């Protein structure tokens, strides 16, 4: 089939052709970028924290009337209160393990600093999040130690949460170890935390542990975590617990009751807005990624509407053209064109319009992505998205044109002899 | 004539119900998507205190100097919060109409009813001037005086929400409330006031937080009773001393500051005062860099702090893109529909209808599609706003609501957009040559 008659026909509908081409182009540009956003969010939400998240839960509570952790006596008092709570929790039948910890991945409450290779370094070699806790952290969170050893019980120190000082030993994530010592094992090496002068020796490396922050500001060091063998004392505490398999709800109930029984003067009723309560990790995860999942759904809904509108638009416009050319189709049929020829005609016509549309759309899609990179610090879109979008829109065009084209093919040759 | 055109339009629309339905649906979806995202955007980007925002300013002092910027950071912006030393100095200088240093607090509160578990109230430690500066409405009582600030009085202003929780509602002025182990006298209960974004302390609240704004105590009292800050603390160097006192002596920034300056001249004078103050600090040897201060008004400040979440903006733009595609689609369909009736137009023109009349007739037809699309779009927008809570963070989704202005905007957008889409097709219809049409048939 030659394209010449198609071009001649299209030239008679310049406005309509231009509009549908433009529509396909815009649809492609928006859908590519929206799907790209979805892809990025899905990737973010699916990244593993490095923990075994099943059966894990967190207690965030605050004692009332507890001393502020500023003088040594009150720090000792707070530490005694914390140890007593930990002992209470460790005795519960459905609790497998308990660790005091300053934060958890995805909790969005972080303590970050620079890790340097030399003492008194103004800017750290790598940014990292600090987790302060005891020797039960690895076991309770289900972290994988890939080199070195865990903290021993005797190595855990304690201090006020606003105290200062760097610990002599620490465990780091593999990502941080590789960043600090790209050519060598980090084990036994010395680092300096927070631009200080106290050396800290790396005694262990864990495979993976995400930082607490999920915001954009943490993206550059999302896997750089440092575990410090320090129990922080304050009136506000966080405790991570691992329930025995399948006993999560029971363990959470037991923990709540046991803590209130031991000391009712504490705030522990769930107030997720302000970080108080007892929460399964699944809830912490859902809270952290709610906005991302929401954005992905919103973009998905908009894509579906867009494709539906454009698909329906093609159906509508082609139907109109078929109706308009009834007589011409009849003449062609009478002159020997087969049904298949007529079908092909409309399919080719659509392919040409959609082809022009996707070429323009691909340029627009890349342009839109560049603009978003500038405006919203978005990442560069892989051309695979554009390529997939092009194929999808060409397919959508063929699908949409099928019904009207079949109707055109069904026009009988006798139509040629009828006058309007 | 208008009635006649309406009649014609209705007949024409009824003739192709599928095409008409398609156009109405297209407009409705396009309008509903943009209006839903718009309602959220409007809620988060709006001016929280329109009658006064131009008089409210946030001073920033560069107490870090070049060390405060990483090797890749070339902005030279001072830190966005203040350290204790500078905040207290600015309060003492008292150069603005109103001013308040503030920091976020989170304190356990014991409810009056025995048997009720304690709750944590999140709020701010502020100066008494905070309340008149922000025109904070009171249901009962009022704020506290400068003397209360001076004497570190144990007084508190609570939100209606906390009043309900702690006292079961009612006029609680004069009652005592146990906050963090200390007895405070309630001097005021707020009216319906929990602005979102929490523009007075965006550095610590991040802008949107449903849980805050429930408790206000004097800044000096909070410092004196060791009520530690609940928000962000940023340091270039680790404090030399431990504890809250160590934080107060350090160059760490954790305090928000707001001033009221009534005109441009006052703002100019205040900026000069800031520069003089930092120059003095430089002379005293505390800073070894020249004054580098900022004085942004409230809206510029919120823009600088990126209070509007980027996702909200992206959603709005994408939805507007959808509306644009819907309009292009409608233009195409209207064009097809109008030109199909070329012979009818030819007859009308031959019978004496002017081009202008044809043009009006077809624009009215487009307008009717717009009206129907708008009406359906309104219903869909309602669903959209009801369902947006599933999609957006709760703090933000809760702000979106359907009101009269949104209703009207939706309808107007739908009709104007469809009329725009109809302009070109109507023009083409009006340009139909009557003789040619009549001949060809």
Which of A145, A154, A153, A151 has its CA nearest to residue A177? A145
Structure letter (DSSP) for residue B68: G
Considering A325-329, A390-394, B249-253, the range whose residues carry the highest mean pLDDT is: A390-394
Q: What whole-number distance in Å separates Cα of residue A121 and Cα of residue A123?
A: 6
Q: Which residues from B are below 8 Å from A268, CB to CB?
A: 117
Would the pLDDT of B149 be above 90? yes
Q: What whole-number distance in Å separates Cα of residue B289 and Cα of residue B313?
A: 38
> Which token pair is A301?
């809904």
Q: Which residue has the tokens 């006029």?
A: B171
Of A141-145, A416-420, B386-390, least confident by mean pLDDT is A416-420
Distance in Å, alpha carbon of A383 to nearest chain B alpha carbon = 20
Asked if the Cβ–Cβ distance from A309 to B106 is below 8 Å, we say: no
Look at residue A240 and give its three-state secondary structure. strand
Predicted confidence (pLDDT) per residue in A29-53, tens digit: 999 999 999 999 999 999 999 999 9
Would the pLDDT of A122 be above 80? no
Alpha helices in A54-181 (DSSP H): 72-90, 137-141, 174-180
- The pLDDT of residue A1: 57
Asked if the Cβ–Cβ distance from B329 to A15 is below 8 Å, we say: no
Angle, helices A383-409/A339-376, rounded to nearest 10 degrees = 150
What is the mean pLDDT of the segment spanning B165-193? Answer: 90
Q: What whole-number distance in Å separates Cα of residue B177 and Cα of residue B184?
A: 5
Query: Which CA distances in Å does B301 have to B47, B53, B271, B323, B352?
Result: 12, 11, 15, 32, 63
Pick from A15, A65, A317: CB nearest B428: A15
Asked if the Cβ–Cβ distance from B310 to A376 is below 8 Å, we say: yes
A144 by Cβ neighbours in 10 Å (0-12 / 13-18 / 19+) ranks as middle
According to DSSP, the residues that pair with A276 across neighbouring strands are: A271
Q: What is the pTM for the complete model shown?
A: 0.84
- The pLDDT of residue B71: 63
Asked if the Cβ–Cβ distance from A313 to B441 is below 8 Å, we say: no
Asked if the Cβ–Cβ distance from B180 to A16 is below 8 Å, we say: no
Mean of the per-residue pLDDT values for chain A?
Answer: 90
Radius of gyration of chain A (CA): 32
Q: Which residues from B are below 8 Å from A15, CB to CB?
A: 335, 424, 428
Q: By CA distance, what is B121's nearest residue in A? A: A274
Would the pLDDT of A26 be above 80? yes
Q: What whole-number distance in Å separates Cα of residue A100 and Cα of residue A112?
A: 18
Asked if the Cβ–Cβ distance from A123 to B71 is below 8 Å, we say: yes
Would the pLDDT of A126 be above 90? no
Q: By CA distance, what is B108's nearest residue in A? A: A64
- Stated as kind and residue range, the H or E segment containing B40 is helix B17-45
A176 touches chain B (CB under 8 A): no
Which of B242, B252, B377 to probe the A interface (max A CBs under 10 A)?
Answer: B242
Q: How many CB atoms lie within 10 A of CB A176?
A: 27
What is the mean pLDDT of the segment spanning A184-188? Answer: 91
Mean of the per-residue pLDDT values for chain B?
Answer: 88
Residues 6 or more apart from A110 whose CB is under 8 A from it? A103, A129, A211, A212, A213, A218
Interior angle at CA A395, CA A393 and CA A397, nearest 5:
70
Q: What whole-number distance in Å separates Cα of residue A397 and Cα of residue A350?
A: 7
Q: Which residue has the tokens 């500038």?
A: A374
- Check if the beta carbon of residue B257 is closer than 8 Å to that of residue B219: no
Distance in Å, alpha carbon of A20 to nearest chain B alpha carbon = 7
Considering A31-40, B163-172, B198-207, the range whose residues carry the highest mean pLDDT is: A31-40
Predicted confidence (pLDDT) per residue in A253-301, tens digit: 999 999 999 998 888 988 887 888 999 999 999 989 988 898 899 999 9
Domain boundaries, chain A: 4-45+290-417, 65-264
Which of A295, A314, A280, A349 has its CA nearest to residue A58? A280
Interior angle at CA A158, CA A115 and CA A204, nearest 5:
45
Q: Which of residues 132-171 of A touch B (CB under 8 A)?
A: 159-160, 162-164
ipTM: 0.85
- Check if the beta carbon of residue B152 is closer than 8 Å to that of residue B183: no
Asked if the Cβ–Cβ distance from B329 to A23 is below 8 Å, we say: yes
Q: How many CB atoms lie within 10 A of CB A198?
A: 14
Q: Which residues from B are below 8 Å from A33, CB to CB?
A: 318
Whether omega for the bond prior to residue B197 falls within 30 degrees of 0, making it cis, is: yes
Q: What whole-number distance in Å separates Cα of residue A79 and Cα of residue B156?
A: 31
- Check if the beta carbon of residue A175 is closer than 8 Å to that of residue A50: no
Query: Which CA distances in Å does B394 have to A49, A294, B210?
Result: 24, 10, 9
A38 touches chain B (CB under 8 A): no
Q: What whole-number distance in Å separates Cα of residue A101 and Cα of residue A237?
A: 8
Q: Which residues from B are below 8 Å from A306, CB to CB?
A: 322, 325
Q: What whole-number distance in Å separates Cα of residue B240 and Cα of residue B244?
A: 12
Q: Which residues from A are below 8 Å from B326, CB to CB?
A: 309
Residue B440 binned pLDDT confidence (cut-offs 50, 70, 90)? low
Pick from B26, B335, B390: CB nearest A309: B26
Which of A17, A64, A326, A420 to probe the B interface (max B CBs under 10 A)?
Answer: A64
Which of B381, B420, B429, B369 has its CA nearest to residue B23? B369
Predicted confidence (pLDDT) per residue in A95-104, tens digit: 999 999 999 9
Would the pLDDT of A124 be above 80? no
Q: What whole-number distance in Å separates Cα of residue A101 and Cα of residue A83?
A: 13
Residue B119 binned pLDDT confidence (cut-offs 50, 70, 90)? confident
- The pLDDT of residue A205: 96
Alpha-carbon torsion (B118, B122, B125, B131), positive or negative:
negative
Predicted confidence (pLDDT) per residue in A54-82, tens digit: 999 999 999 987 887 778 888 999 999 99
Look at residue A172 and give its three-state secondary structure. strand
Asked if the Cβ–Cβ distance from B33 to A309 is below 8 Å, we say: no
A307 touches chain B (CB under 8 A): no
Query: Which CA distances in Å does B304 have to B203, B299, B300?
Result: 11, 9, 6
Which of A69, A113, A214, A305 to probe the B interface (max B CBs under 10 A)?
Answer: A305
Would the pLDDT of A168 be above 70? yes
Q: What is the largest CA-CA distance in chain B?
A: 98
What length is written for chain A?
420
Q: What whole-number distance in Å separates Cα of residue A26 and Cα of residue A222?
A: 35
Which of A350, A346, A343 has its CA nearest to residue A393? A350
- The pLDDT of residue B222: 94
Residue A14 binned pLDDT confidence (cut-offs 50, 70, 90)? confident
Pick from B22, B67, B309: CB nearest A122: B67
According to DSSP, the residues that pair with A67 across neighbouring strands are: none
- Check if the beta carbon of residue B395 is closer than 8 Å to that of residue B209: yes
Q: What whole-number distance in Å separates Cα of residue B342 and Cα of residue B354?
A: 15
Asked if the Cβ–Cβ distance from B318 to A160 is below 8 Å, we say: no
According to DSSP, the residues that pair with B185 across neighbouring strands are: B155, B176
Residue A385 binned pLDDT confidence (cut-offs 50, 70, 90)? very high
Q: Which residue has the tokens 């750089």?
A: A224
Which of A19, A288, A367 to probe the B interface (max B CBs under 10 A)?
Answer: A19
Would the pLDDT of B426 be above 80? yes
Would the pLDDT of B441 be above 70? no
What is the mean pLDDT of the segment spanning B32-53? Answer: 87
Predicted confidence (pLDDT) per residue in B45-104, tens digit: 878 888 999 999 999 999 988 877 766 667 788 998 999 999 999 999 999 999 999 999
According to DSSP, the residues that pair with B99 across neighbouring strands are: B259
Domain boundaries, chain B: 2-47+309-440, 62-260
Give the phi and the psi of residue B35 in degrees, each rounded to 5: -70, -35
- The pLDDT of residue A419: 61
Greater pLDDT, A236 or B210? A236
A209 touches chain B (CB under 8 A): no
A271 touches chain B (CB under 8 A): yes
Beta strand pairing status for A199-206 and A145-148?
Answer: antiparallel
Q: Which residue has the tokens 């867009």?
A: A306
Distance in Å, alpha carbon of A349 to nearest chain B alpha carbon = 17
- Check if the beta carbon of residue B244 is closer than 8 Å to that of residue B226: yes
According to DSSP, the residues that pair with A130 across neighbouring strands are: A226
Distance in Å, alpha carbon of A150 to nearest chain B alpha carbon = 28
Percent of chain A with pLDDT over 70: 99
Beta strand pairing status for A236-243 and A56-63?
Answer: antiparallel
According to DSSP, the residues that pair with A259 across neighbouring strands are: none
- The pLDDT of residue B70: 67
């Amino acid at each position: 089939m030659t394209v010449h008659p198609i071009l001649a026909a299209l030239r008679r509908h310049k406005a309509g052709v231009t509009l549908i081409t433009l529509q396909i182009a815009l649809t492609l540009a928006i859908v590519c970028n929206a799907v790209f956003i979805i892809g990025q969010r899905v990737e973010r939400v699916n990244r593993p924290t490095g923990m075994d998240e099943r059966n894990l839960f967190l207690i965030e509570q605050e004692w009332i009337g507890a001393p502020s952790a500023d003088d040594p006596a009150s720090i000792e008092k707070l530490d005694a209160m914390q140890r007593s709570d930990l002992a209470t929790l460790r005795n519960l039948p459905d609790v497998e393990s308990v660790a005091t910890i300053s934060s958890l991945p995805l909790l969005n409450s972080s303590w970050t600093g620079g890790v340097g290779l030399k003492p008194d370094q103004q800017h750290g070699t790598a940014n990292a999040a600090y987790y302060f806790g005891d020797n039960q952290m690895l076991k309770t969170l289900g972290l994988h130690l890939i080199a070195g050893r865990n903290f021993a019980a005797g190595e855990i120190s304690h201090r006020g949460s606003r105290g200062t000082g760097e610990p002599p030993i620490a465990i780091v994530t593999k990502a941080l170890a590789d960043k600090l010592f790209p050519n060598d094992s980090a084990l036994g090496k010395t680092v300096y935390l927070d631009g200080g002068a106290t050396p800290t020796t790396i005694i262990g490396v864990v495979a993976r542990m995400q930082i607490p922050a999920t915001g954009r500001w943490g993206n550059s060091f999302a896997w750089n975590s440092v575990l410090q063998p320090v129990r922080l004392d304050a009136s506000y505490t966080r405790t991570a617990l691992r329930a025995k398999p399948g006993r999560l709800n029971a363990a959470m109930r037991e923990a709540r009751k046991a803590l209130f029984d031991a000391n009712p003067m504490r705030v522990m009723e769930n107030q997720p807005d302000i970080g108080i309560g007892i929460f399964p990790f699944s809830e912490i995860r859902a809270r952290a990624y709610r906005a991302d999942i929401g954005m992905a759904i919103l973009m998905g809904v908009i894509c579906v509407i867009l494709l539906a509108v454009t698909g329906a638009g093609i159906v509508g416009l082609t139907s109109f053209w078929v109706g308009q050319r009834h007589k011409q189709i009849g003449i062609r049929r009478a002159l020997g064109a087969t049904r298949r020829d007529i079908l092909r005609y409309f399919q080719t016509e659509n392919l040409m319009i959609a082809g022009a549309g996707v070429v323009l759309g691909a340029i627009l899609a890349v342009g839109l992505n560049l603009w978003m990179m500038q405006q919203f610090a978005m990442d560069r879109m892989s051309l695979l998205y554009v390529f997939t979008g092009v194929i999808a829109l060409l397919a959508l065009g063929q699908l949409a044109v099928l019904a009207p084209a079949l109707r055109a093919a069904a026009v009988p040759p006798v139509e040629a002899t009828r006058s309007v | 004539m208008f009635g006649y055109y309406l009649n014609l339009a209705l007949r024409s629309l009824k003739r192709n119900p599928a095409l008409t339905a398609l156009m109405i649906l297209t407009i409705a979806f396009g309008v509903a998507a943009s209006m839903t995202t718009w309602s959220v955007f409007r809620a988060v980007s709006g001016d929280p205190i329109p009658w006064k925002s131009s008089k409210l300013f946030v001073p920033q002092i560069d107490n870090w100097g070049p060390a405060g910027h990483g090797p890749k950071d070339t902005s030279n912006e001072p830190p966005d919060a203040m350290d204790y030393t500078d905040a207290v100095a600015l309060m003492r200088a008292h150069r603005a109409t109103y001013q308040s240093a503030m920091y976020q607090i989170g304190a356990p509160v014991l409810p009056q009813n025995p048997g009720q578990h304690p709750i944590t109230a999140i709020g701010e430690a502020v100066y008494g001037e905070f309340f008149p500066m922000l025109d904070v409405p009171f249901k009962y009582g009022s704020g506290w005086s400068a003397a209360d600030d001076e004497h570190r009085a144990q007084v508190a202003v609570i939100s209606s929400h906390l009043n309900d929780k702690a006292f079961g509602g009612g006029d609680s002025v004069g009652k005592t409330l146990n906050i963090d182990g200390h007895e405070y006298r309630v001097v005021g209960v707020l009216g319906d006031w929990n602005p979102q974004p929490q523009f007075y302390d965006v550095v610590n609240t991040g802008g949107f937080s449903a849980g805050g704004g429930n408790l206000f105590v004097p800044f000096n009292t909070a410092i004196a009773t060791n009520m530690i800050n609940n928000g962000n603390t940023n340091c270039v160097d680790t404090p030399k001393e431990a504890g809250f006192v160590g934080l107060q002596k350090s160059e760490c920034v954790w305090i928000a500051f707001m001033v009221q300056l009534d005109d441009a001249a006052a703002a100019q004078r205040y900026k000069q005062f800031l520069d003089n103050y930092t120059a003095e600090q430089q002379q005293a040897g505390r800073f070894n860099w020249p004054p580098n201060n900022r004085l942004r008004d409230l809206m510029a400040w919120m823009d600088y702090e990126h209070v509007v979440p980027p996702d909200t903006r992206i959603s709005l733009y994408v939805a507007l893109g959808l509306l644009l595609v819907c309009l292009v689609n409608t233009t195409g369909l209207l064009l097809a529909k109008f030109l199909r009736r070329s012979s009818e137009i030819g007859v009308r023109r031959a019978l004496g209808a002017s081009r202008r009349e044809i043009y009006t007739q077809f624009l009215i037809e487009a307008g009717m599609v717009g009206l129907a699309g708008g009406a359906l779009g309104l219903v869909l927008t309602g669903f959209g706003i009801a369902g947006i809570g599933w999609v957006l963070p709760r703090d933000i989704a809760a702000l979106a609501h359907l009101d009269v202005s949104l209703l009207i905007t939706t309808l107007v957008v739908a009709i104007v957009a469809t009329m725009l889409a109809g302009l070109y097709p109507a023009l083409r219809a009006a340009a139909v040559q009557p003789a040619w049409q009549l001949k060809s048939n």
